[in-house]
Structure 1
Amino acid sequence: MASTLPMAAIFTRNKMIGWVSVVFSLQSWLAETPEQKKTSTTPAYFSVGMAFMSLIVGYMPLFLPPPNMRAGTGSSTEAPPAMPPS
C-alpha cells in the first residue's frame, strides 16, 4: 500500500491522497523490522521519497501555474474554415 499510494497521488494530482501516502510510508518505515530490511528489495526511505514526490507533483500548479491561454486562440486542432461557394 505504501508503494502504490504515491503513484495514485501522482497520477490523480490529489493532495489528500498525497498526504495519506506520506503518513503511510512514514509508518511503514518506522515499523520496519531488521528482517524486513534484509529481505526488502528497496529501502523503506525510497517509499517516503516517492510519497514526498507525490506531494510535490500535487502542489506544483501552486508554484508553477499553467500558462494563460488567450480567449479565442484555441489549441489549433480545429477543422479548417469552410471554403466559400464559387
Structure 2
Amino acid sequence: MASSAKKDMRRPDLIVPYQEPSLGKPGENVEFSSTLSSTLPMAAIFTRNRYIGWASVVFSVQSWLGESEETTKNTSTPGYFTIGMSLMALAVTYLPMFLPPQGPRAATGTEAPAPVPPA
C-alpha cells in the first residue's frame, strides 16, 4: 500500500476552531519575567550560587526596562526594588570571598596536613 492510497482518518465533525485566549481582567495579568525577577534573588541567597545571582540581576533589569504604565499601576513593588534585591543577593553570593567563615570547622585549605601515625 502506498502512503497516498491510505484513507484519511480525520473527521470534519471533530474539528475545533481556534479561539484566541482571553486576557482576563487587567489586574490579573501575571508576567513570568516579573515572577522570575522576584524569586531568583531568593534562590541565589539560599543556594549561594553566583550564576543564579547574575541571572537574577539580568532578569530584574530586563523586567524593569520592560514595564509598561499599566504594570506600574498594578504592581505593589517598583522595578528598582527588584533590582536592589537582586544586587543584594549577588553581594551575598560573593560575601564568603571577602569575609571567610570563622569557626572551628572553617578550613582554609592552607593548613598543614594531618600527622601520619608511625608504622
TM-score when scaled to structure 1?
0.77
The letter for the 2-side match of 1:21 is S
The runs of 5 or more residues in structure 1 that have no matched partner are 71-86
Matched, 1:43 2:78: yes
The 5-angstrom pairing of residues 7-86 of structure 1 reads 7-67=42-102, 69=104
Distance 1:42 1:66 in 2: 33
TM-score when scaled to structure 2?
0.56
Structure showing greater Rg: 2
Task: State the partner residue of 1:84.
Answer: none
The letter for the 1-side match of 2:81 is F
The letter for the 2-side match of 1:48 is I
Structure 1 residue 67: Cα displacement: 1.7
The runs of 5 or more residues in structure 2 that have no matched partner are 1-35, 106-119
**Residue 4 of structure 1, aligned match among 35, 39, 61:** 39
The count of residues paired between Structure 1 and Structure 2 equals 70
Distance 2:81 2:39 in 1: 12
Structure with higher RCO (Cα < 8 A, 6+ apart): 1
Residue by residue over 1:28-69, the C-alpha shift from the partner in whole angstroms, topping out at 9 and shown as x without a partner, is 000000111111111011110110011110000111111253
Instruction: Report % sequence identity.
Output: 61
